[in-house]
Amino acid sequence: MSLAQRSFSSADQMRFASACGDHNPMHVDALQARRTQAGAMVVHGINLLLWALDSLAAAQPDLPPLRGIRAQFNKFVYLDEEVEAVLTQQGPASAGLSISVDGAPRSKVNLDFGDIVADCPGWFASLEPVPLPQAPRNLSLDQMAGLSGRLSFQMTPEDAAALFPAAVKWLGTRRIAALAASTCLVGMVCPGLYSIYSELSIVACAESDLQGSLAFRVAKTDPRFQLVEQEIAGGGLSGTVKSFVRTPPVQQATMESLAGVVGPAEFAGSVALIVGGSRGLGELTAKLIATGGGRVLLTWQTGKDDAERVAGEIRAAGGRCETLAYDARRPAAEQLAFLADAPTHAYYFATPAIFRSQSKMFIPERLKEFLAIYVDGFWQLAQALRARQPRLSIFYPSSVSVTERPRGMTEYTMAKAAGEVLCADMNVSLAPLHVTVSRLPRLPTDQTTSLAAVETAHPLETMLPIIREVQSWQR
């Protein structure tokens, strides 16, 4: 039974973040969120849970008292996705909820009904208050072990009533505030900056301590899975919260570490345009070419600060680098018209978010999004650059997914295969322009990081031979 449908906008995100205190960049900063496993801003799991509980309470105002909740936040929900709260089962003593997108569950919730059977535990009585940090803490697993304290509720009764009115009538403002405090705990305090809220398991309890705070203590850390389990109590709830410590953004090699890897004049005389050079393989490529004496023009679409950071590092090491805004979805010629010198080489690392949860095997709109970048955008760039430099040498990064066909990447694989066909025909019809195509293996980048250890190739060992091939084509 469908209870409600909605999408969460950026304004919705900011409103909930302000009310609960969880300003983790994954939820509120588009630029930093793109460097997480999610690849873009995602909705707070607790916001989804509270919305689902509010939807249930609005549909059934005579719900029995809540005894317990177990919520599993299995997959991200992105901004502006159409989300549905579904009542999957209900009986006198329990109910099940699903938070779904396109019919596929992203989170699952089990509810138990009944009278409270226990008092809230007393272990938290002596814990010291922990101030809410202005920015998310960045703690190691060793620093998290044994951590404990009390985190004040940030959500006021007025905010709770405005955001979740039906749930407040059912559960009360203190329990809503305690649930909201749990995301503040995970996103800001422990694990903090690199956290992913995974699971909540709580029971309702009678309070003797009416302080407006959520007590917590770390019960377990597991380095194998980067797992953190915490006991929590407060606001008439007690139980456990599980979260993961996600991998920090991938750091590419520094200019200092690349000194000596290529000759100081190996790429002298070249002007290389690096589309998508503000991070990842584009950043590494820019640094290698600059180390070899080439002049680099690196582009950014949203990550201006990242691009300036890379350019600053290159210049500090004596290299030549400029940055420019470029959107592969817009006409290339008008964006590059002001360039004083025609690039002799180009590297095309433009890409949308690759990994997104989806319920259907094939989504035409997703394919169009990939084709707009990997085919149309590449073709326009090549045409614009070729008009000024007929002997242009370009690199087109394809993927081993074309042959390996990983599950859930149908649209991406189709677009990369189409790009390969285009490049082959360009080499036949547009000579002396030449496109070098390479099916790259999985490499450690922001988009490929995961919680579990995954074997990846070495970026420098993979890219350097390709760069040398591309750079030497005209010679």
Mean of the pLDDT values across residues 345-356? 88
Q: Looking at residue 357, what is its pLDDT? A: 63
Q: Using CA of residue 428, residue 429, residue 434, residue 435, what is the dihedral sign?
A: negative
Q: What three-state secondary structure class fits 196?
A: strand
Give backbone dihedrals phi and psi of 274, rounded to 5 degrees, phi first: -110, 100
Strands (E), 351-422: 393-399
pLDDT at 257 over 80: yes
Contacts of 61 (CB under 8 A, 6+ apart): 166, 169
Above 90 in pLDDT, residue 233? Answer: yes
pLDDT in the model for residue 303: 85
The residue to which tokens 């195509």 are assigned: 437
Is the predicted pLDDT of residue 352 greater than 90, yes or no? Answer: no
Tell me: the pLDDT tens digits for 284-343? 999 999 999 999 999 999 889 999 999 999 999 999 999 999 999 999 999 999 898 999
Do residues 279 and 350 lie in contact, with contact meaning Cβ atoms separated by under 8 Å?
no
pLDDT > 70? residue 446: no
Q: How much helix, strand and coil, in percent to the nearest 5, is found in the chain?
A: 35, 25, 40
pLDDT at 472 over 80: yes
Domain ranges for the chain:
2-245, 255-471
Confidence tier at 206 by pLDDT (50, 70, 90)? confident
User: 404 — phi, psi (to 5°)?
Assistant: -80, -25
What percentage of the chain reaches a pLDDT higher than 70? 95
CA distance 275 to 303: 12
Taking residues 88-106, report their average pLDDT: 95
Question: Strand pairing of 213-222 and 2-6?
Answer: unpaired
| Architecture of the domain defined by 255-471 | 3-Layer(aba) Sandwich (3.40)
Task: Tell me what pLDDT residue 447 has.
Answer: 56
Mean pLDDT of 169-191: 97
- The residue-averaged pLDDT of 156-185 equals 97
- Is pLDDT of 473 > 90? no
Task: Kindly report the three-state secondary structure assignment for every residue of 11-46.
Answer: HHHHHHHHHHCCCCHHHHCHHHHCCCCCCCCECCHH
Stretch among 136-140, 354-358, 467-471 having the lowest mean pLDDT: 354-358
Average pLDDT over residues 19-39: 91
What is the mean pLDDT of the segment spanning 2-30? 96
Mean pLDDT of 219-248: 95
Q: Which SS3 state, helix, strand or coil, does residue 49 take?
A: helix
pLDDT at 451: 45
Please, is 418 exposed, middle or buried when counting C-beta atoms within 10 Å of its C-beta (0-12, 13-18, 19+)?
A: middle
Whole-model pTM above 0.85? no
Average pLDDT score over residue span 380-400 = 96
On average, the pLDDT of the chain sits at 92
Q: Which CATH architecture has domain 2-245?
A: Roll (3.10)
What is the spatial distance between Cα 418 and Cα 411, in angstroms, rounded to a whole number?
11
| Chain segment 415-444, per-residue pLDDT in tens | 999 999 999 999 999 999 999 999 999 886
pLDDT tens sequence across 125-138 = 789 999 999 999 99
d(CA 349, CA 309): 18
Least confident range of 59-68, 232-241, 445-454? 445-454
pLDDT reading at 475 higher than 90: no
User: Which residue bears the tokens 């640094």?
Assistant: 287
Sign of CA dihedral 280, 282, 287, 289: positive
- Check pLDDT > 50 for residue 453: no
Which residue from 396, 278, 295 is spatially nearest to 343, judged by alpha carbons?
A: 295
State how far the Cα of 102 lies from the Cα of 197, in Å rounded to an integer: 22
Asked whether residue 384 carries a pLDDT value surpassing 80, the answer given is yes
Question: Among 16-30, 32-46, 116-130, 188-202, whose mean pLDDT is lowest?
Answer: 116-130
Residue 406's pLDDT band, with cuts at 50, 70 and 90, is confident
Q: Which residues, listed in sequence order, are joined to residue 346 by a DSSP beta bridge?
A: 273, 394
Four-CA torsion 423, 429, 430, 436, nearest 10 degrees: 30
pLDDT for residue 450: 47
Of the pLDDT bands very low, low, confident and very high (cuts 50, 70, 90), residue 47 is very high
pLDDT at 250 over 90: no
Contacts of residue 245, Cβ cutoff 8 Å, sequence gap at least 6: 141, 191, 194, 195, 196, 226, 227, 228
